[in-house]
């Protein structure tokens, strides 16, 4: 799996969730302000009722 930066045109990256491109085994992460924010977004994204979203 590759991890790459998700480019967002309008900042505010802490509000965005990661994206998964499963066909290509890529995980796109916004440039979060801290590891704790990244951990919270990833944890929320993998919850069954939430899922990955753009």
Is 23 catalytic? The answer is: yes
From the list 7, 12, 23, 48, the catalytic residue is 23
User: Using CA atoms, how far apart are residues 14 and 40, in angstroms rounded to an integer?
Assistant: 10
Report the C-alpha dihedral over residues 6, 1, 41, 45, rounded to 10 degrees. 110
Active-site positions read: 23
């Amino acid at each position: 799996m590759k991890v790459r930066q998700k480019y967002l045109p309008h900042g505010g990256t802490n509000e965005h969730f990661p994206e998964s491109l499963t066909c290509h085994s890529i995980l796109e992460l916004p440039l979060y302000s801290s590891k704790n924010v990244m951990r919270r977004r990833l944890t929320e994204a993998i919850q069954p009722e939430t899922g990955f979203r753009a």
